[in-house]
Structure 1
Amino acid sequence: MNAAPADQIRLLDVQALDTRLTQLAYKRNNLPEHEEIQRLDADLAQLRDLLVAAQTEESDTAREQTKAEQDVDQVRQRATRDQKRLDSGAVTNPKDLESLQSEIVSLAKRQGDLEDVVLEVMERRESVQERAAELTERVESVGARVQDAMGRRDAAVAEIDAEITRAGAERDTIAAVVPDDLLKLYDKIRAREGGVGAAKLYQRRCEGCRLELNITEVNDVRAAAPDEVLRCENCRRILVRTPESGL
């Protein structure tokens, strides 16, 4: 294949821009904010699960407290009624009177036991409420950190995308004047060789594989016509000659 030396040198410009575009794409996909957001999202999900569990426990404890308080109230009301009957003198039968007095004592003990239950439930509920409040603060704090990281990520992505757009436009402009057959060969090699399809011959060394040409290869390059498209014998990339080739 033959191509004007100027077109071959333009191919190096296309290669430089393709390399830059690859670097930008890698940078975009590997921003530290991506990992930060992923880590914070995992923390946030765990905190939210803990908060839901705490809120559920608080709700259950609230119902338990209400039930315990109702039990205390029922015992208190019954004890009050019994005490009124006793104080009224309406009960005169000694056996009934003894039974009533015994029930009042039993209800007093029962009320005391139930009040202890209410206090225990209230303490547990207060502890759960404190835990839920702490978890709520942590959820809000981590959520704010997620939003901050997302803002920084979006700003970085926008900046990179703008640079990708500029480099892509410049690449298209230069590639448009490179002969189609040369560009197709370059693209084919670049796809096969890790993104590098053309390399400069610099001081008798291929900048693609970084290997120096032997004397036979140097003589072959010297003997080649200026418009002949050369290939590196080692990496098979397009080898572009410049004034810095050391020939």
Structure 2
Amino acid sequence: MNAAPADQIRLLDVQALDVRLQQLAHKRRSLPEHAEIESLTKDLTQLRDLLVAAQTQESDTAREQTKAEQDVDQVRQRAARDQQRLDSGAITSPKDLENLQREIASLAKRQGDLEDIVLEVMERRESTQERVAELTDRVASVQSKIDDTTARRDAAFEELDGEAASVTKEREVIAASVPADLLKLYDKLREQQGGIGAAKLYQRTCQGCRQELSITDINEIRAAAPDTVVRCENCRRILVRTSESGL
């Protein structure tokens, strides 16, 4: 394949722009915000699970408190009715009076026991409510950190994408001036060789694979016409000759 030396030099310009695009893409993928968002998101998921569990516990405790308070009310109402019967004087039988007084005393003890249960449940519910409030605040705090980090990441994306768009346009302009067959070969080699399809021959060393060429290879390149597209015998990339090639 033949191509004017100037076209081969421009191929190095295309390669430099492609390297820059690779660097920008790598930087975009490697932003520290990615790992930070991932870590914070895991924390948020765990906190939300804990919050749901705490809210469920608070709801269960609320129902338990309501049931305990209803039990107290039932006993209190029954005791009030018995006390009214006792105070009314309608019961004259000593045995019935004794039984009623015994029942009132039993209800009073039962009411006291149930009120203790209500207090115990209320304390547990208060503790659970505090836990819900704490977890709610922590969820909000982590979500705020995620929002801030996402905003920083998106700002970095915008800057990197803007530069990538500019570099892409510049590449399109330069690539349009490179012969189609040379550009096609370059693109093919670039895909095969980890993004580097053309390299400068500098001081008898291929800048693509960093290997110094043998005397035989150097002599062949030295003898080749200026418009001959030469390849590195080690990595098979396009070698571009310049005044610094050491030929």
SS of residue in 2 equivalent to 1:28: helix
What is the correspondence of 1:6-85 to structure 2 with a 5 Å cutoff? Answer: 6-85=6-85
Aligned-pair identity in percent equals 75
With 50-59 and 147-156 compared, the bigger mean Cα shift is at 50-59
Specify the alignment match of 1:168 in structure 2: 168
Letter in 1 for 2:215: I
Letter in 2 for 1:177: S
Query: Structure 1: where are the runs of 5+ without partners?
Result: none
Query: Structure 2: where are the runs of 5+ without partners?
Result: none
Specify the alignment match of 2:198 in structure 1: 198
User: Following TM superposition, by how much is the alpha carbon of 1:94 offset from its aligned partner in structure 2, in angstroms?
Assistant: 1.4
SS of residue in 2 equivalent to 1:245: coil
Letter in 2 for 1:166: S
SS of residue in 2 equivalent to 1:196: coil
With 2-11 and 57-66 compared, the bigger mean Cα shift is at 57-66
Specify the alignment match of 1:106 in structure 2: 106
User: Following TM superposition, by how much is the alpha carbon of 1:87 offset from its aligned partner in structure 2, in angstroms?
Assistant: 2.0
Specify the alignment match of 1:237 in structure 2: 237
Taking structure 1 as the reference length, the TM-score comes to: 0.98
Distance 1:194 1:146 in 2: 35
Distance 1:18 1:3 in 2: 20
Q: Aligned pair count? A: 247
Give CA-to-partner distance per residue, 1:26-51, whole Å, 9 cap, x none.
Answer: 11122111111111111111111211
Please list every run of at least 4 consecutive aligned residues from structure 1 whose deviation after the TM superposition is greater than 6 angstroms: none
With 80-89 and 154-163 compared, the bigger mean Cα shift is at 80-89
Specify the alignment match of 1:4 in structure 2: 4
Taking structure 2 as the reference length, the TM-score comes to: 0.98
User: Following TM superposition, by how much is the alpha carbon of 1:56 offset from its aligned partner in structure 2, in angstroms?
Assistant: 1.6
SS of residue in 2 equivalent to 1:240: strand
Distance 2:142 2:192 in 1: 45
User: Following TM superposition, by how much is the alpha carbon of 1:88 offset from its aligned partner in structure 2, in angstroms?
Assistant: 2.1
Distance 1:35 1:172 in 2: 34
